[in-house]
A and B are shown apart, each in its own frame.
Chain A
Amino acid sequence: MHKVYHKIERIAGNVITVAADNVSYRELAQVQSPQGTSLAQVIRMDSGMIDLQVFAGSRGVSTDSQVRFLGRPMQVPFSDSLLGRVFSGAGEPRDKGPSINENMVDIGGPSVNPSKRIIPKNMVRTGIPMIDVFNTLVVSQKLPIFSIAGEPYNELLARIALQAEVDVIVLGGMGLKYDDYLFFRDFLEEHGALSRTVSFMHTASDPIVECLLVPDAALAVAEQFATQGKKVLVLLTDMTNFADAMKEIAITMEQVPSNRGYPGDLYSQLASRYEKAVDFEGSGSITILAVTTMPGDDVTHPVPDNTGYITEGQFYLRKGRIEPFGSLSRLKQQVNGDTREDHRTIMNTMIQLYASYKETLEKQSMGFRMGNWDAKLLKYGVRFEKEMMDLSVNIPLEAALDLGWKILADCFNPEETGVPSKLIAKFWPK
């Protein structure tokens, strides 16, 4: 029933142009070339000329390749059998499992009505003290992890995927090194977390167009789980690759670039993905953690800059640790008052003392004389970094708070910490 077109008018970058009629915007097509079959999507129509973005890339597409329109937009399957599976951005299985075609849902669906949103009030426990204690992750929050190349951000994400107290994890990998992809797969499998994870993986060697589809596919699946009452955590890595893929396509399409070559709608594009984070009243929720690598450690680069305006805070990953200064969960105030009465105090006291430790370190490096107080701070700083900041630490919030008291008690006298005496009486280890 669908007409097949045999004449491709133009091939440029990953975009091919055919003359066709009765095609609808964003419709999918199948392109058959000597290299194999690939999906393609309509991205522009003008006077009978249809521009298609070929998912597998245009390499090997000939001017007489077959193009068959499918009459539907991009969709992903949705069912519980997705759990434990790994797909490509185009929704094809990457593992050895069968392809799934049941219950197809459109990707990039409409946004949530703001009047149906609720004020966030529940925390997501991750077992990582630097998050749980100091910058609590909140259900429906969207937070980026700002990092530079070489930092263990994928290890951090994998650890969160393992430890977070949620029902479903949706993992979206964009422009990953193949090694990283294997790392995620093996790590989750080894630790038995694969069974609650759905992965959409795009590696650096895959066609660039599939990279663009990863967040949408991941979020569409997440949305389906959430409307079924599941608490979903979406992990995306790395959004800078996603933005770069967008840049590449935009330039191919001869769009006017705005800032450092990125398309003018970078903000809207990122926002429409991040804003999928939501807490459905009386149903499930979506929380998003996304790695954004900062080229040259520059937070004013367009990608981290636009991200910062969209998200509710940020984590900085530096030297293998979540940096306590600069990192901020804007929603933490909503939840950390109701966890345990000493939560906020421990959070503030330990950070202030750690800041003093940093100052002492600076004095030490300049060769100043170290006093008694400095010695205490030095002892404290080392223990804080080792027992709290290290990413391999996995303890529940309450145990982390107890540990905080223990470290304080081992290093200081109660009155040196500035903690209110009421809390000292109750929590200070005897």
Chain B
Amino acid sequence: MANIGKIIGVNSNLLRVRFEQPVVQNEVAYALLGSGTRLKSEVIRVRGSVAELQVFEDTTGLKEGDSVEFTSQLLSVELGPGLLTQVFDGLQNPLPQLAEQCGFFLQRGKYLEALPRDKKWAFTPSVAVGSKVSAGDALGWVPEGIFKHQIMVPFRLQGTFSVESISPAGNYVVTDTIAKLKDQSGKSHEVKLMQTWPVKLPIKCYAERLRPIEPLITKQRIIDTFFPVNRGGVYCIPGPFGAGKTVLQQLTARHADVDIVIIAACGERAGEVVETLKEFPEQTDPRTGKSLMERTLIICNTSSMPVAAREASVYTGVTLAEYYRQMGLNVLLLADSTSRWAQALREMSGRLEEIPGEEAFPAYLESVIASFYERGGIVRLKNGETGSVTIGGTVSPAGGNFEEPVTQATLKVVGAFHGLSRERSDQRRFPAIHPLDSWSKYRGIIDPVKTAEVHGVLRRGNDVGQMMKVVGEEGTSMDDFVLYLKAEFLDSVYLQQDAYNKIDEACPGDRQEYVFEKVYQILKTPVTFKEKDTARTFFLKLTQTAKDWNRVEFESGEFKELEGNILKALAEVTVNA
């Protein structure tokens, strides 16, 4: 018999519901409008015989006494072939299909199945009857775009099972049963192509978690060389508005060296998602030659969509990432922006009248952020393969001030911090990652001794620059002035990239190693000038040539020629020891 409760209070998207039969914390319930529309909601607090529910929709029109249907299911997502290339909202409703049914506007109470039910997948079994399997083990696979999509023993099954029957190779829809498993007590379990999993629980069907040590190439020089990210690592990008967070995320989504990219657009502008939606299908993935969309999955819960679903959207994103990790793939989850997600928590906390912490964020903010980022990681699966989930979250701090609670809570748990600065973005220095404030605990592709040395030039050059503002050029020694110019040179030709240039927008790892070595040599070369003006002119010219050098094909004739010009110019001013 269905478990039905009665609404006794409504406050925006928070319902108070009196219930009689047991309810489960975080279970899904439906509030029934008079018109018959069912509004999805989630139990978030229980007090006595009153449950408090957050509704994922607008609550206009609900009345006291209206029924609420409890489902005893936790908020879950569908996992199976057909996820890639899709565009979902925070609750895994496919948005294009919703548009087909409802037109321009989202309609509340309309929920669609995430996976297409009528599409047939060519299944190939990989186990025999009688094999022993446990949760997460592959039973067979279907081709999904460029990937072998493994069909796994449902993650919720505990213990070992023997395969009672397995379907022969053939075409099946996601709801077809492809295997029967028998547990130790002799009970039979059916396995379909698809399974479901509650979003707020991590999927842990792997042998062990490993330390992230393998660099993940994003093709942004400043990241890969100075503030690297490793596969299975987590990093954050805080920055004030207009500093270029989203552009950086989009470039990363396009170029990062991973198998699958999941973009969780969480509480940000719809316009930005549209660019990804319309442009990705037309761009080719340099690794596979196929459309970029084939490796992409978009979760899109923009700022004007219901706030509770925004909270769910990051969990939906990370659950789907973990699912693909179970197949031994490397997944990158880009969450833009985690501040909006934290604000969603704050809104709910306010309605629950919880005692507020700093800036009215709930006291559990830190632990919630920590447990989200902890779902990233590289793991060794039971079959020996490795898979990883790398998480990159942007943070939008109020007033661009990094001292606020969300940025600080995030910094505690991430391994790399790419702080964007308004100053650098105003100077049109892209990426606007601040080279002196940012840090990374991961090991990149370049010798850390050398990067530390180069970073030192940058820091001392900056010090000279600050001093020059006070004492003027006249009061600066020639050595210091050259150091300052060298730091500026490094900034312009190595840290910055031209996002509008096809070649310079993405710099592969081998090119970075090569260019870094040359830049390192240039910085190490002692040079001298008679006049400060000649020094400035020399470095301006050198910068110009080096920028052109960045814009030509690697190892082409032109590349070699420009490199020759740079070294020749340098030789003319070198001090011979």
Tell me the nearest residue of chain A to B346, going by C-beta: A264
Which 3 pairs show the lowest CB-CB distances between chains A and B? A300-B399, A271-B303, A275-B304
Pick 11 A–B contacts, CB within 8 A, sort by A.
A21-B65, A24-B60, A73-B61, A117-B274, A118-B274, A119-B274, A264-B349, A264-B350, A267-B303, A268-B307, A331-B271
Given contacts A112-B104, A112-B270, contact A256 B356 (CB under 8 A): yes
Contacting pair B63 A23 (CB below 8 A): yes
Given contacts A23-B63, A116-B104, contact A259 B305 (CB under 8 A): no
Contacting pair A272 B343 (CB below 8 A): no
Contacting pair A312 B303 (CB below 8 A): no
Any chain A CB within 8 A of the CB of B96?
yes
Contacting pair A312 B343 (CB below 8 A): no
Any chain B CB within 8 A of the CB of A324?
no
| Contact for B273 among A114, A255, A263, A280, CB less than 8 A | A114
Given contacts A275-B304, A280-B104, A308-B241, contact A25 B398 (CB under 8 A): no
User: How far, in Å, is A326 (CB) from chain B's closest CB?
Assistant: 8
| Contact for A113 among B34, B102, B271, B401, CB less than 8 A | B102
Contacting pair B271 A328 (CB below 8 A): no
User: How far, in Å, is A261 (CB) from chain B's closest CB?
Assistant: 10
Contacting pair A47 B8 (CB below 8 A): yes
Contacting pair B105 A114 (CB below 8 A): no
Any chain A CB within 8 A of the CB of B242?
yes
Contacting pair B360 A24 (CB below 8 A): no
State the CA gap A310–B272 with chains docked (Å): 11
State the CA gap A25–B64 with chains docked (Å): 9
Contacting pair B340 A267 (CB below 8 A): yes
Tell me the nearest residue of chain A to B397, going by C-beta: A305
State the CA gap A345–B367 with chains docked (Å): 51
State the CA gap A338–B63 with chains docked (Å): 54
Contacting pair B8 A46 (CB below 8 A): yes
Contact residues in B for A368 (Cβ distance below 8 Å):
none
User: How far, in Å, is A111 (CB) from chain B's closest CB?
Assistant: 4
Contacting pair B63 A111 (CB below 8 A): no
Which positions in A face B, CB cutoff 8 Å?
Answer: 21-27, 44-48, 73, 109-120, 140, 227, 255-259, 263-265, 267-268, 271-272, 275-276, 280, 300-302, 305-306, 308-310, 312-313, 328, 330-331
State the CA gap A44–B270 with chains docked (Å): 30
Contacting pair A114 B242 (CB below 8 A): no
Any chain A CB within 8 A of the CB of B98?
yes
User: How far, in Å, is B109 (CB) from chain A's closest CB?
Assistant: 11
Which positions in B face A, CB cutoff 8 Å?
Answer: 8-12, 16, 34, 58-65, 87, 95-96, 98-99, 102-108, 240-242, 267, 269-271, 273-275, 277-278, 300, 302-305, 307, 340, 343-344, 346-347, 349-350, 353, 356, 359-361, 396, 398-401
| Contact for A24 among B62, B277, B340, CB less than 8 A | B62
Given contacts A113-B102, A113-B105, A268-B343, contact A259 B398 (CB under 8 A): yes
State the CA gap A46–B7 with chains docked (Å): 9
State the CA gap A73–B63 with chains docked (Å): 13
Contact residues in A for B398 (Cβ distance below 8 Å):
259, 300, 302, 305-306
User: How far, in Å, is A92 (CB) from chain B's closest CB?
Assistant: 22
User: How far, in Å, is A141 (CB) from chain B's closest CB?
Assistant: 8
Contacting pair B269 A275 (CB below 8 A): yes
Contact residues in B for A48 (Cβ distance below 8 Å):
8, 64
Contact residues in A for B304 (Cβ distance below 8 Å):
111-112, 271-272, 275-276
Contacting pair B61 A256 (CB below 8 A): no
Contacting pair A258 B360 (CB below 8 A): yes
User: How far, in Å, is A195 (CB) from chain B's closest CB?
Assistant: 28
Contact residues in B for A73 (Cβ distance below 8 Å):
60-61
State the CA gap A235–B421 with chains docked (Å): 32
State the CA gap A258–B349 with chains docked (Å): 11
Tell me the nearest residue of chain B to A277, going by C-beta: B271
Contact residues in B for A115 (Cβ distance below 8 Å):
87, 95-96, 98-99, 277, 300
Contact residues in B for A331 (Cβ distance below 8 Å):
271
Contacting pair B277 A114 (CB below 8 A): yes
Contacting pair A117 B270 (CB below 8 A): yes
Contact residues in A for B240 (Cβ distance below 8 Å):
308
Contacting pair B64 A227 (CB below 8 A): no
State the CA gap A306–B277 with chains docked (Å): 25
Contacting pair B10 A275 (CB below 8 A): no
User: How far, in Å, is B111 (CB) from chain A's closest CB?
Assistant: 14
State the CA gap A264–B400 with chains docked (Å): 18
Contact residues in B for A267 (Cβ distance below 8 Å):
267, 303, 340, 343
Contacting pair B303 A275 (CB below 8 A): yes
State the CA gap A44–B58 with chains docked (Å): 14
Contacting pair A47 B9 (CB below 8 A): yes
Contacting pair B347 A264 (CB below 8 A): yes
Tell me the nearest residue of chain B to A300, going by C-beta: B399
Contact residues in A for B11 (Cβ distance below 8 Å):
44-46
User: How far, in Å, is B87 (CB) from chain A's closest CB?
Assistant: 6
Contacting pair A112 B241 (CB below 8 A): no
State the CA gap A26–B96 with chains docked (Å): 30
Contacting pair A256 B360 (CB below 8 A): yes
User: How far, in Å, is A193 (CB) from chain B's closest CB?
Assistant: 29
State the CA gap A268–B64 with chains docked (Å): 26
Contacting pair B270 A25 (CB below 8 A): no
- A-B contacts besides A114-B277, A306-B398, 15 pairs, CB < 8 Å: A25-B10, A44-B10, A48-B8, A109-B105, A112-B304, A114-B273, A115-B300, A119-B274, A255-B350, A257-B360, A258-B361, A259-B360, A268-B303, A305-B399, A310-B269
State the CA gap A44–B16 with chains docked (Å): 11
| Contact for A256 among B269, B275, B350, CB less than 8 A | B350
Contacting pair A312 B271 (CB below 8 A): yes
Contact residues in A for B353 (Cβ distance below 8 Å):
256
Contacting pair B63 A26 (CB below 8 A): no
Contacting pair A259 B359 (CB below 8 A): yes
Contact residues in A for B273 (Cβ distance below 8 Å):
114
Tell me the nearest residue of chain B to A307, going by C-beta: B241
User: How far, in Å, is B249 (CB) from chain A's closest CB?
Assistant: 15
Tell me the nearest residue of chain B to A250, going by C-beta: B350
Contact residues in B for A114 (Cβ distance below 8 Å):
87, 95, 270, 273-274, 277, 300, 302
Contact residues in B for A306 (Cβ distance below 8 Å):
398
Contact residues in B for A313 (Cβ distance below 8 Å):
242
User: How far, in Å, is A1 (CB) from chain B's closest CB?
Assistant: 16
State the CA gap A166–B248 with chains docked (Å): 35
Most chain A C-beta atoms within 10 Å of own C-beta, residue among B96, B271, B275: B271
State the CA gap A271–B241 with chains docked (Å): 14
Tell me the nearest residue of chain A to B398, going by C-beta: A305
Contact residues in A for B359 (Cβ distance below 8 Å):
258-259
State the CA gap A305–B304 with chains docked (Å): 17
State the CA gap A77–B124 with chains docked (Å): 60
User: How far, in Å, is B452 (CB) from chain A's closest CB?
Assistant: 34
Contacting pair A118 B16 (CB below 8 A): no
Contact residues in A for B105 (Cβ distance below 8 Å):
109-113
